[in-house]
Structure 1
């Protein structure tokens, strides 16, 4: 497992999302209401739309194209048309840096 620095914590708004690209793959980072940070695959499993552009409320992200909803903590698809779960990645915040475990 490799830890990759994605961004500074301050770059992600509370109850917001940020896109993170690394080695040809896209990820989405989310800052929860309690300030914890989560990471999922960056594209909706329904139609490959960037989830970081979606609406984040509480612990859910809504795809901006067809309104599929995921729990970003677990990747679970909660509302159609999304029916395939998102892959999730371990995250740590060290000295204000958000790091993601990839691989």
Structure 2
């Protein structure tokens, strides 16, 4: 299995059947203890679908607590997308579109 590392703990696992978008993060238990955890964000038929979901989740992660004007929101989305896509061009070229 191949793993593609992304930003903010996200990664894509590639196997013969699909592309699985996952996130590695640290959460807090009811006892206040910090624990390592993994979240499956979706199963996809091609790498482009997985990347689209990753971009949407990154936008939500960054902007979920923000209170912005529409213009500021659009600028923030553009900036988040730019950051999310950094370095992905070379990775995407390795995977053919099905």
Calculate the TM-score normalised by the size of structure 2.
0.32
Could you say which structure has the greater relative contact order, defined with CA pairs below 8 angstroms and 6 or more residues apart?
1
Please say which structure displays the higher CA radius of gyration.
2
